[in-house]
Amino acid sequence: MPTPAPIRVTVWSEYRHEKKNPKVAALYPDGMHRTIADALGRETGLTVRTATLDEPEHGLTDAVLDQTDVLIWWGHMAHHEVADAIVARVRTRVLEGLGLIVLHSGHYSKIFKTLMGDTCSLTWREATDKERVWVVCPSHPIAQGLGACFELPAEEMYGEPFGIPTPDELIFISWFTGGEVFRSGATWRRGNGKIFYFRPGHETYPTYHNPQVQRVIANAARWAHSGLRIKDQAPNMPPLEPLPPDPEATSRSTQGHQ
């Protein structure tokens, strides 16, 4: 068998907190996207690039998306600065088959909300908490190599109810010291695209340096890769079998569908 082509991952991030908050800059001197991309780059079979909000077209040109199999998304304070046209472009690509991994505060990103069709709301607490991520679907590809659970000693809390459509697959549930639970890893199919939401990753904590978190994201990149790009269409179809007789056929409307 020939070696399969590598999966082309683009890691997108706002890259704002890192420039404004010294604590974040100390953790992620080149940005969270760089830390995530470096981790993915050490994996076999993945090629990785990055893109950020302040690049032209947010770094998500058609040329870049043509070369992207899986897009990873981290946003927080600047969701509203993401141009609607770029959101629409990414949405179209996801529905055609682009894989999408949405991280942490990306639950309120335009791209996640438009694909979920739901509030995407949750409860939260920006106080250092311990998060323990439990695997509830041990056989899922995204859960491989993790054991029964893993801990993040310092994280923001997100709590239920999380305003999402019923996931196709629920993979992780998080426990927080403060007393809350959260569906922290879940998948959905939209069009031909595979979507994974993963909760951890508040910017003031070293979460993306954590090996288990990196393992989840690498697993998810492989899982989300469909290899497909199928254009959306709503074709008018001739019948495959004889239709019943239609005495009024000649008076039938011929206007298009939409």
Site for its own copies in 140-169 (CB under 8 A): 148, 153-154, 157, 159-163, 165-166, 168-169
In 3D space, the residue among 205, 159, 157 whose CA is nearest the CA of residue 182 turns out to be: 159
Should residue 235 be labelled a site residue for its own copies when binding is judged by CB under 8 A? yes
- For the CB of residue 135, give the shortest distance to its own copies in the complex, in Å: 6
Give the total of residues touching its own copies (CB under 8 A). Answer: 94
Q: CA 158, CA 107: separation in Å to the nearest integer?
A: 11
Question: Which of 49, 137 has the CB closer to its own copies?
Answer: 137
- For the CB of residue 55, give the shortest distance to its own copies in the complex, in Å: 21
Should residue 81 be labelled a site residue for its own copies when binding is judged by CB under 8 A? no
Should residue 44 be labelled a site residue for its own copies when binding is judged by CB under 8 A? yes
Should residue 131 be labelled a site residue for its own copies when binding is judged by CB under 8 A? no
Reduced to 3 states (helix: H, G, I; strand: E, B; else coil), residue 26 is helix
In 3D space, the residue among 27, 9, 10 whose CA is nearest the CA of residue 202 turns out to be: 27
- For the CB of residue 146, give the shortest distance to its own copies in the complex, in Å: 12
Reduced to 3 states (helix: H, G, I; strand: E, B; else coil), residue 188 is strand
Q: Which of 19, 26, 85, 189 binds its own copies (CB under 8 A)?
A: 189
Residue 228 is encoded by which pair of tokens?
């497909």
In 3D space, the residue among 24, 23, 51, 57 whose CA is nearest the CA of residue 37 turns out to be: 51
Q: Which of 134, 206, 209, 212 binds its own copies (CB under 8 A)?
A: 134
Q: CA 147, CA 65: separation in Å to the nearest integer?
A: 34
- For the CB of residue 164, give the shortest distance to its own copies in the complex, in Å: 9
Reduced to 3 states (helix: H, G, I; strand: E, B; else coil), residue 231 is coil
Q: CA 82, CA 74: separation in Å to the nearest integer?
A: 12
Should residue 209 be labelled a site residue for its own copies when binding is judged by CB under 8 A? no
- For the CB of residue 136, give the shortest distance to its own copies in the complex, in Å: 5
